[in-house]
Amino acid sequence: MKILVLNGSPRPNGNTAAMVNAFAEGAKGNGHGQFHDRDERASDIGEDL
């Protein structure tokens, strides 16, 4: 099974990030694929929030 996890929260260390990380760790522990962690923010590509 392939799983895609997206986190759209503007807080990289907030509650949503903690939930997403816990979910991803659980999926990894059950043998589900590769995970890539990328942090791209609108301000990084020249857009104002």
* pLDDT per residue as tens digits for the range 1-49: 778 888 888 888 899 989 988 988 888 888 876 766 666 665 555 555 4
Contact 49, 10 (CB under 8 A): yes
CA-closest candidate to residue 20, choices 5, 32, 8, 33: 5
What confidence score (pLDDT) does residue 15 get? 93
